[in-house]
Amino acid sequence: MPAPSGPVPVQITEEAGLTATWDEDFRVEALVAEGDRVAQGAPVLRSRRYPEIVVTAPMAARVAKIGLNAGRRLSRIVFYGESDAGRHEFDTNVAKRLDDSAAVRLALQQSGLWRHFRSRPFGQEPRPDESPMAIVVMARDTRPAAPDPRLALAGRESEFERGLRALLTLGDGPVYVCQAGAADLVDAKGFDARLRIVRNGGRHPWGLAGFQIHQIHPAAPGKPVWDLHAEDVAGIGAYLETGLVPETRLISVTGSALRQQRHVRCQPGADLRGLSHGFVKPGRHTILSGSALDGHEARWLGLRHRQATVISGDAGGQRRHWFLSALRGASRPLPIIPTAALDHAMGGALPAAAFLRALSAGDTETAVKLGALSFLAEDMALVDYVTGAEPRFSEVLSAVLERIEQEEIG
């Protein structure tokens, strides 16, 4: 999606909701009650398994609804905006010196920013004491109509650098900044040798973390690799300096059902109906959190999503995009055979047909040898579109990873 010609508008929706991710068993203890007023950034939920990890309020608001499923698993917590409820300020005086790894960890966990990290293999939030073998910072995104991370970092260079220095304290391994273009987003000479710039100009799916991890630092059991978005790194840098949790993130609001597509800065968990109100064409439509390729129907912006997509009609069928339609025309029906479209859908990163056959057959040994542990369901979205397979390869990969994880635990 082209960058806007002027400043990106800020839109704080009147309502916001925080939910667990679809594959997350997130059991929580509520730190607030329905009807309580909360400052933006104030802790509202605590993990029952890891009490150090909290969820914070996405805006100054009143708590409208706390929805928990069986076992106190988070369904959603909904907020109604009250702008005069203020902002919560954390004490980050020790952590911002960046000379105490434990202090940095605690500061990120108590602010809710820890939840932006994702650990591979298996794609879970890292344990509070987990030490990554590497951290991959995604400063590019090749999903259809995704906002350019460089736009999110504009004017925040010092915050981004501070955030990278914080990441270097969390483990002994390298921190990779994956970016497009020749101009570095950060001068690596100002850091120790563990900070590395990775340039990649490939098309989708090379803007997904799984493909970068597979190429530069494959994940394995006992050797976790974390990933997070570059804007979240800048947010960490800003938080450590000020004690304030970032209020907004940059997203794109796009889709075939909109009269106008746009960039906007909104709060986490923003109301997707509020973001699209006034821009939707007449007729039936469906709102997705995420892209047209890998998004899902939702009311609230997801934890790691940076796109809201409004498509015409119902979400039951294939969600097509011109880029994907071109690929679709080059694909072949099952059984899986090598094609240019299939290789493109896997980015040429590995033997696509052999990998998909291994997944389909439940051959975990071969799938792991070919790189399955670096990937997650989102990395298979383009494959799902190109093949039209049922069950979807994203679902098959998730099942394979779950089985491997259970074997590791066992």
Residues 143/216, Cβ–Cβ less than 8 Å: no
pLDDT at 335: 65
Spacing of C-alpha 267 from chain mean position? 15
User: In degrees, to the nearest 5, what angle opens at C-alpha 223 toward C-alphas 218 and 227?
Assistant: 60
Phi, psi angles (nearest 5°) of residue 240: -65, -30
Amino acid at 405: E
What's the rounded Cα separation, in Å, for the pair 388 and 328?
Answer: 9
Q: What pLDDT sits at residue 341?
A: 87
**DSSP-assigned letter for residue 373:** G
- 283-307: average pLDDT: 97
pLDDT at position 314: 73
Q: How confident is the model at residue 326 (pLDDT cuts 50, 70, 90)?
A: very low
Q: Give SS3 for 277.
A: coil
DSSP 155-182: T-HHHHHHHHHHHHTS-SS-EEEEE-SS
pLDDT digits (tens, 9 = 90+) for 97-141: 999 999 999 999 999 999 999 999 999 999 999 999 999 999 999
Is pLDDT of 332 > 70?
A: no
> Do the beta carbons of residue 305 and residue 294 sit within 8 Å?
no
DSSP element (H, E) containing 45: strand 43-47
Q: How far apart are CA 214 and CA 238, in angstroms?
A: 30
Question: Considering the chain, what percentage of its residues have pLDDT values greater than 90?
Answer: 84
The upper half-sphere exposure of residue 83, i.e. CA atoms within 13 Å in the direction of its Cβ, equals 4
Q: Cα–Cα distance between 39 and 62 in angstroms, integer?
A: 9
Q: What is the pLDDT of residues 347-404, one digit of tens each?
A: 999 999 999 999 999 999 999 999 999 999 999 999 999 998 888 999 999 999 999 9
Burial of 131 (0-12, 13-18, 19+ CB in 10 A): middle
Helix or strand holding residue 285 (H, E): strand 285-289
Report the pLDDT value the prediction gives residue 344, as an integer from 0 to 100: 92
3-7, 206-210, 211-215, 327-331: which has the minimum mean pLDDT?
A: 327-331
Closest CA relative to residue 309, chosen from 272, 249, 273, 255? 255
**pLDDT (tens digit per residue) in 271-281:** 999 999 999 99
Output the CA torsion sign for 85, 87, 90, 93.
negative
pLDDT for 317 equals 45
How many C-beta atoms surround the C-beta of residue 199 within 10 A? 13
pLDDT level of residue 5 (50, 70, 90 thresholds)? confident
Residue 209 · residue 135 · CB < 8 Å: no
Half-sphere exposure (CA, 13 Å, Cβ side) for 272?
28
Spatial CB neighbours of 5, under 8 Å, sequence gap ≥ 6: none
CA distance 373 to 341: 23
Contact yes or no for 44/57 (Cβ under 8 A) = yes
Pairing of strands 134-138, 175-179: parallel
Q: 205 preceded by cis ω (within 30°)?
A: yes
Give residue-wise pLDDT tens across range 46-89.
999 999 999 999 999 999 999 999 999 999 999 999 999 999 99
Q: What is the pLDDT of residue 3?
A: 82
Range in 222-236, 263-277, 317-331, 340-354 the model is least confident about: 317-331
pLDDT score, position 6: 86
Examine residue 282 and say whether the peptide bond preceding it is cis (omega within 30 degrees of 0): no
End-to-end CA distance of the chain: 46
Find where tokens 């150090």 sit: 52
Give the Cα separation of 370 and 408 in Å (integer): 19
List % helix, strand, coil for the chain (3-state, nearest 5): 30, 25, 45
